[in-house]
Chain A
Amino acid sequence: ETGVTQTPRHLVMGMTNKKSLKCEQHLGHNAMYWYKQSAKKPLELMFVYSLEERVENNSVPSRFSPECPNSSHLFLHLHTLQPEDSALYLCASSPSASYLTGELFFGEGSRLTVL
C-alpha cells in the first residue's frame, strides 16, 4: 500500500460540475503538494502546503481551490473547469517543504476528464 492515497482514481465531470479530489498521506510528513501532469508537458507544481499553511500558489486559476484541514489531508476543489484542465493530478508529500535533499512521495494520481 502506497503511503500517499488519492481518491478518486478517475473522474469525469462536466464544465458546470463541482467536484473534489482527495489526498491522504500516512507518512507523518509536514508538507503536501498538488501537481498537474498534462500529456507531453512537464509536471506543473500547483500548490504547496507546509504545516497546513499554503506556502506556494503557482498562478493557478481560481477554479482550482485547495484545502488542507490537517497535515495528513489535502483536497483540491474543482468548479467550472475547462476541457484543457483534463490531466492527471498528482498529490505528493515530503517531511518538510524546505528539505533540499528529500524526495517527494507521490500518490497514484487522479485522472480527470472534463467534458
Chain B
Amino acid sequence: AQKITQTQPGMFVQEKEAVTLDCTYDTSDPSYGLFWYKQPSSGEMIFLIYQGSYDQQNATEGRYSLNFQKARKSANLVISASQLGDSAMYFCAMREGLTGANSKLTFGKGITLSVRP
C-alpha cells in the first residue's frame, strides 16, 4: 500500500487566488512528520512546510498552510494568493518513527501546479 497518495493529476489556478493540493497518508505509527516540498523546473526540491503528528495546530509558513486532518489522515497544502513563481511540482512526504532510528522520508508522486496570469 502506498504510504503517501497524491491523486490530483494537475492543477490550475488563477494568479492571486488560493489553491489546495491534496495529500493522504497511511501509517500505523503514532509519531510521524509530514512535509511538503516544491520542485521547480530547475530540479531542486525546496522545503515548504512541516506538520508533526502531535502538533495541535495546523502549520503555517507565509502563504503556505497545512490543513491537517489526523482522523482522515490527510495533510493538504493550501497556497494563498498564488503567484506565477508557484508553478512547479509539489510533493507530499512523510517520515515515520521516533528519533534514534534511521527514519526514512517517503514521497508521493507529486502534483503539477500551473498558475495562470
Contact = CB atoms under 8 A, between A and B. Distances in A.
Interface of A: 2, 40-43, 45, 48, 50, 55-56, 88, 90, 92, 96-101, 103-109, 111
A83 B30 CA distance: 40
B47 A111 contact: no
Interface of B: 4, 31-33, 35, 37, 42-47, 50, 52, 91, 95, 97-110
24 contacts: A40-B109, A41-B109, A42-B108, A42-B109, A45-B104, A45-B105, A45-B106, A56-B102, A90-B45, A92-B45, A97-B102, A98-B100, A98-B102, A98-B103, A100-B52, A100-B95, A100-B99, A103-B35, A104-B105, A105-B47, A106-B44, A106-B45, A108-B44, A111-B43
Contacts of A99: 99
B42 A108 contact: yes
A72 to B, nearest CB: 18
Task: Summarize A's interface: helix, strand, loop or mixed.
Answer: loop
Given A90-B45, A98-B99, A101-B50, 15 more contacts: A42-B107, A42-B108, A42-B110, A45-B106, A48-B104, A50-B102, A88-B43, A96-B99, A100-B95, A100-B97, A100-B99, A103-B50, A108-B43, A109-B44, A111-B43
A111 B41 CA distance: 12
